[in-house]
Structure 1
Amino acid sequence: MSSSEKLTIHCQDGYSLSARFYPHQTELKQALPVLICPATGITKQFYNSYATWLSQQGYDVLVFDFRGIGESLNSPLKESTASIVQWGQLDIPAAIDALISKTQAPKIILLGHSAGGQLLGIVPNYDKVAKVVAVSGSTGHVKNLKGRTKLLAPVMFNVIFPIARHTIGYGPTNAIGMGENLPKDVAREWAEFCSKPGYVINALGKTVQHDFHQQVSCPITAVWSSDDEIATEANVKDLLRLYPNASTQMIELKPKETGHKAIGHMLMFKSSHQNLWPIIEQQLHA
């Protein structure tokens, strides 16, 4: 028997998202289901092993592809009008409602990876989120990046993306090992949001008219790694400061202390790092 089922999520604007639901595989289920919101350009399949493991811990889990990504790309990529703002204003709200409808739970736990944990402040139904666990969650402000990414990001944001927008019509991130190729407006917003502190607040008064950061009061925990070149300590703090009325905490993981050569921005959800999974689950359960 399959441990998951395919679902279609219908957004308020009529856009359809591809999702997978993982029902709990234990006699007793956890009180609240978990919504996994992916990182920029990362498909739901990336989280399959972790979602399956969570279901074995008693959670109902929903994972989906943001519009313009993976199986939620409903047109040729260069024709996609998807944006990060739409991910927060339309996709995440629809996924929250779909998970609540599926499980009849009063609220959900949002487990966001990178961008997936950075958008609650523009999610209209934020009050249906009981807590947020933001894995590698930060604002990604270029000034606070480290290592190779600090060198690569300005080239990607200021050279590759603008040229590609007018030549091929999308952000060619796959060629540089940064996930799926991105719809042009996702690439443009990513560059804009990371150019200044605060990430999505840079869209306020422009493409975002309703700001809920002040209203969010659920607990928010950021789990990050000391060798993460994007979610650095400064950028994690930059994200958490956006929620002044939420109880926030930071949990730093160090590769050597957890038996790994590296954790970085992407490896926490890999089977090779499954000894870290209970650390994340502990925050879901707390």
Structure 2
Amino acid sequence: MQEPVTLKCEDGYQLSATLFRPTKPLCGAIVIAPATGIKRQFYAHFATFLADYGFAVLTFDNRGIGESVSTSTRKSDADLVAWGKLDMPAALDTLEQFYPDQSYFLVGHSAGGQLIGLMSNAHKLKAFINFGSSSGSLRNMRLRYRLKAHFFMNVFIPVSNFLFGHTKANWVGMGEPLPRGVARQWRQWCNGQGYVQTSFGKEVTDHYYSSLAVPSKWIIASDDDIANEANLKEMISVYEGSNARYCVLYPAAFGLDDIGHMRFFSRSSQRLWPLVTNFFDEHLQPAGGTF
């Protein structure tokens, strides 16, 4: 069962969200943290699968995206730091209000996994699993895709921001229109090293990447041009305190033509979804169980 809910962030900003009630006895609660510019509806089938398994699930639109646009995108002051420091903590707090005293988990997609270390309440998570989350460093991408990425990041974003006051990411198939601050930081961090680490001591004055001792699993696809293995390892290294492990999925091994950066959450890839429930099941076991 799905129901609309409203999240209230620490700064008073309100976000649109959807709560998926479990259809079996409750075994835990999960926040799905979205990729850059991706609306929560994209994760509805995956969330339904998790709810049918027994998890309560919360999906949400980050500020400036989808139904969480409080003003025109051009006037939005949202940025990636606010997504991690304000929006994602509000999602976890709201889930806790609906389902207190549960085991809490997070599934991060791309940016949703990159920003967990900004969450002041991330220590409440029993574990998290990320798909397609990496440093996104342009320098580590295959040459053919690197040229495309450089054009988007270093030509399209600044020109679009200058002309329209925001980035028309939807024009090039990169999700929803992006607030200029989101696109600016995205460009800056992908041109740097360690993604958000690029802003440590600058726009990011406090964080929990080093101290977050939460078990994590990171999944990428072999045909993902953005989250390749080099970028994955670079992002994991920023999470110094996490007990992290990772795996690379080869589409043919699962009878799939492609997975890439987005298709893990598609119904065509639902045979992959038990990778998530199996990992979280490990951390639902009583003390002394196997990790």
TM over 0.5: yes
Following superposition of structure 1 onto structure 2, how do residues 173-188 of structure 1 map, counting pairs within 5 Å? Answer: 173-188=169-184
Q: How does 1:153-164 map to 2 (within 5 A)?
A: 153-164=149-160
Distance 2:197 2:228 in 1: 19
Q: What's the CA shift for 1:283?
A: 1.8
Further displaced range: 172-181 or 143-152 = 143-152
Aligned 8 A contact 1:106 1:128 in 2: no
Shift of 1:41: 0.5
Measured in 2, the distance between the counterparts of 1:21 and 1:189 equals 29
Amino acid at match of 2:36: T
Q: Which amino acid aligns with 2:60?
A: F
Residues 233-254 of structure 1: CA deviation (Å, up to 9, x unaligned): 0111111111222111001110
| In structure 2, C-alpha distance between the alignment counterparts of 1:180 and 1:241, rounded to whole Å | 29
What is the aligned partner in structure 1 of residue 83 from structure 2? 87
Residue in 1 aligned with 2:286? none
What is the TM-score with the length of structure 1 in the denominator?
0.96
Structure-2 residue corresponding to 1:222:
218
Which residue of the partner structure matches residue 7 of structure 1? Answer: 5
Once the two structures are TM-superposed, the CA of residue 147 in structure 1 deviates from its matched residue by: 6.3
Mapped pair 1:130 → 2:130? no
Q: Deviation digits for residues 218-246 of structure 1, max 9, x if unmatched?
A: 01110111111111001111111112221
Does residue 244 of structure 1 match 2:224?
Answer: no
2:112 is the counterpart of 1:142? no
Residue of structure 2 equivalent to 1:192: 188
Deviating above 6 A after TM superposition, structure 1's stretches of 4 or more consecutive aligned residues are none
Q: Which amino acid aligns with 2:270?
A: Q
* AA matched with 2:241: N
Indicate which of 23, 26, 33 corresponds to 1:25: 23
> Which of 259, 262, 265 is the matching residue for 1:263?
259
Cα distance, 1:215 vs structure 2: 0.9
Matches within 5 A, 1:116-127: 116-127=112-123
Distance (Å, rounded) in 2 between the aligned partners of 1:223 and 1:141? 17
User: Out of 19, 35, 39, which is 1:39 matched to?
Assistant: 35
Counterparts of 1:148 and 1:97 in 2: how far apart (Å)?
42
- The alpha-carbon deviation at position 135 of structure 1 amounts to 0.9
Instruction: Choose 13-22 or 271-280, whichever is displaced more.
Output: 271-280
Matched AA of 1:157: M
Q: Deviations over 1:126-169 (max 9, x none)?
A: 21121110111111111112365322111111111111111111
Would you say 1:110 and 2:106 are equivalent positions?
Answer: yes
Deviations 1:161-180 (A, max 9, x none): 11111111111111111111
Contact 1:214-1:243 within 8 A present in 2 as well: yes
Deviation larger for 276-285 or 64-73:
276-285
The aligned amino acid for 2:75 is: E
Change in Cα spacing, 1:230 to 1:127, as seen in structure 2 (3 Å) is: same
2:289 alignment partner in structure 1 = none
Matched, 1:49 2:52: no
2 CA distance for matches of 1:270 and 1:147?
Answer: 27
Map of 1:282 onto structure 2 = 278
TM-score scaled by length of structure 2? 0.94
**Identical pairs, percent:** 38
Which stretches in structure 2 are left out of the alignment for 5+ residues?
283-291
Say which of 229, 235, 249 aligns to 2:231: 235
Name structure 1 gaps, 5 residues minimum. none
- Aligned CA distance change for structure 1 residues 58 and 48 (closer, same or farther; 3 Å): same
Following TM superposition, by how much is the alpha carbon of 1:106 offset from its aligned partner in structure 2, in angstroms?
Answer: 4.4
Query: Which AA in structure 1 matches 2:165?
Result: G
Contact 1:69–1:182 (CA<8 Å) still a contact in 2?
Answer: yes
d(CA) in 2 for partners of 1:105, 1:141: 38
Query: How many aligned residue pairs are there?
Result: 282
1:219 counterpart letter in structure 2 = P
Rounded to whole Å, the distance in 2 between the matches of 1:146 and 1:53 is: 34
